[in-house]
Amino acid sequence: MRFLTTVLVDTLLFMALSGFFPANFYVASVEMAVIAAVVLAVLNWVVKPIVTILSLPINFLTLGLFSIVINGLMLELTSAIVGAGFRFSSFWIAMLVAVLMSLVSTIIAQYFRKD
């Protein structure tokens, strides 16, 4: 159930953020947003823990701020896997989208958290 919730929230965030940044972040359709959300969820489950462990020294030196770069890299990798229907104009936009997605996802998770 958590996987489906993550995919749904990420899909909605992809569509909303592509509307806010139409020149910098392109999502062709809702179907492409769903595919990208599934790919991102799988990458976050499989690849991100490995990258996080390998980058522990630099993450420690930057007091955890390097995790924003890792999230941006996961979005860029998602863009490369999904194809032309899902793309960023630059890596900086991918990092901005990663930050915004993290903030909104945290707010949504706190709102629906069970006490």
Question: What is the domain partition of the chain in residue ranges?
Answer: 1-113
Beta strands per DSSP E along 24-72: 25-27
Q: From first to last of the 115 residues of the chain, give the pLDDT tens digit.
A: 688 988 999 999 999 999 999 999 999 999 999 999 999 999 999 999 999 999 999 999 999 999 999 999 999 999 999 999 999 999 999 999 999 999 999 898 888 777 6
CA angle at residue 88 from 96 to 69, to 5 degrees? 40
pLDDT value, residue 115: 62
Give the DSSP letter of residue 113. Answer: -
pLDDT value, residue 29: 94
Residue 55 to residues 92, 103, 111: CA-CA distances in angstroms? Answer: 19, 22, 31
pLDDT value, residue 86: 95
Distance CA 45, CA 104 (A): 19
Contact indicator for 26, 75 with CB cutoff of 8 Å: no
pLDDT value, residue 28: 94
